[in-house]
Amino acid sequence: MKRTESTKNQSNKRPRRSLRIGQQQFGPFWTENTNVAPAVSLTVSNTSSVDRLTNLPLLVVDHQLISFMGIVEVAMMREVNRYFEPFWRRRFVEGNLLPICIPYDIGTLDRAMRVIEILDDRKQYTKASPLVVQLGKGEHQITSSWTEPRYGLEYHTTLDITRNHITFVGKGKGETLINGGFAVSNSENITFKDMTVTNTSQYGCGIRMSNAKVELIDVALKGCQDAGLRIPPVSTSETTLVATRCEFANSLFGAVVQAGSLTSATFKNCVFHDNEYDGIYGSDKATIHLHGEATAIHSNRTDGIYVQNSAKVLIHLPSHHNTSYNNGQEDRRSLSGGTITNVE
Instruction: Indicate the pTM of the whole model.
Output: 0.81
State mean pLDDT over 10-24.
36
Cα–Cα dist 226/204, whole Å = 5
Model confidence band, residue 61 (pLDDT cutoffs 50, 70, 90): low
Residues 6+ apart with CB under 8 A from 335: 307, 308
Tell me the domain boundaries of the chain: 49-98, 100-342
Cα–Cα dist 157/148, whole Å = 13
Cα–Cα dist 229/227, whole Å = 5
State mean pLDDT over 209-231.
97
State mean pLDDT over 8-18.
41
State mean pLDDT over 234-258.
95
Q: Does domain 100-342 have CATH number 2.40.50?
A: no
pLDDT tens-digit readout, 98-140: 889 999 889 999 999 999 999 999 888 999 999 999 999 999 9
**65, 123, 194, 230, 271 from 203: Cα distances, Å:** 46, 35, 24, 11, 22
Q: What pLDDT sits at residue 236?
A: 83
Cα–Cα dist 198/181, whole Å = 7
What mean pLDDT is reported for the chain?
83
